[in-house]
Amino acid sequence: MDISLVICTRNRAAQLGPCLRYVAELAYTGSWELIVVDNGSSDKTAEVIADFARSVAFPVRYVFQPIKGLGNARNAGIAASTGGIVAFTDDDCYVSPNFLAATLRAFGNPSVGFVTGRVTLHDPTDYPATINESRVPKFFPSGRYLPPGALMGANMSFRHETLTAIGGFDPLFGSGALFPAEDCDAAARAGLAGWDGVYDPDIEVAHHHGRKADSIGKLHRSYDIGRGAYHTKLILSCGAVGHGLKGWGRLITLRLRRRPASAYWESYGAIGYAWQWANGRAKSRRGISS
């Protein structure tokens, strides 16, 4: 199998329908599969997926993961996948017809372990957040600091062997878990393991997130918490002290000027992750499985 496309969803049957209609229009003639992970939905998500699977010719796998959290859901998708490349998008995103073909081209160099692409704003009345509309390609050398936002979970892909090498996504990270930023965390660990990364603007999805200006404060707060946890994890768990300190330095030189409240919420995320890390080490010393 060339590539597996994984979409994780929870109680968003209405959004998932349009997302899947764009998937049906993918123009790729190689071998691929769609894996839809239901992260414990109680609405009609399973019915939407079943109806869609009956309407298309390509393989569609339904995976039910009851343990809440995007990291857990994505790991379930990885476990079910058979593709050499595992691509991810979100249930409120619309892939372009060449999404799969462009993704595979971006992995042309065997040193590339993760890839991200362009995320545009589908509805111009939505607040321009959680997008990256740059048309300038970027290269992320292995071993370098990867800033949050460099890679977006709405449009990211990994070699299957890369995901295996890093142990997949951290269940503590991601929407529905304690800390957002599961995407950057996984890519950073891939970089520390020796894999290069690429931003390729030819790989495109449109994000139909529906957020307006009055709801953005909560989004920024969650990202601040994830950013603080991510930089603290680099120091405590990944052995990348210089990378973590560089991220914290940018709080002082850049982020405080834009949002002074970032200092509080990033510290909140840092303390939360440090507590989880210390608790995990204590359990390990006592021989308790976390």
Per-residue pLDDT tens over the stretch 255-288: 998 899 999 999 999 999 999 999 998 888 887 6
- Asked if residue 43 has pLDDT above 80, the reply is yes
Cβ neighbors of 3 (< 8 A, separation 6 or more) are: 28, 30, 31, 32, 33, 83, 84, 85, 86, 87, 100, 103, 104, 157
166 bridge partner residues: none
49 by Cβ neighbours in 10 Å (0-12 / 13-18 / 19+) ranks as buried
Using the predicted structure, report yes or no on whether residue 289 has a pLDDT greater than 70.
no
Note the pLDDT of residue 288.
60
Residue 290 has pLDDT above 60, yes or no: no
- Going from the C-alpha of 181 to that of each of 32, 34, 43, the distances in angstroms are 27, 24, 26
Largest CA distance in the chain: 54
pLDDT digits (tens, 9 = 90+) for 77-118: 999 999 999 999 999 999 999 999 999 999 999 999 999 999
CA atoms within 13 A on the CB side of 17: 7
Residue with tokens 């839809």: 36
Per-residue pLDDT, 209: 95
Of 81 and 290, the one with more pLDDT = 81
What pLDDT does 95 receive? 98
Tell whether pTM > 0.85: yes
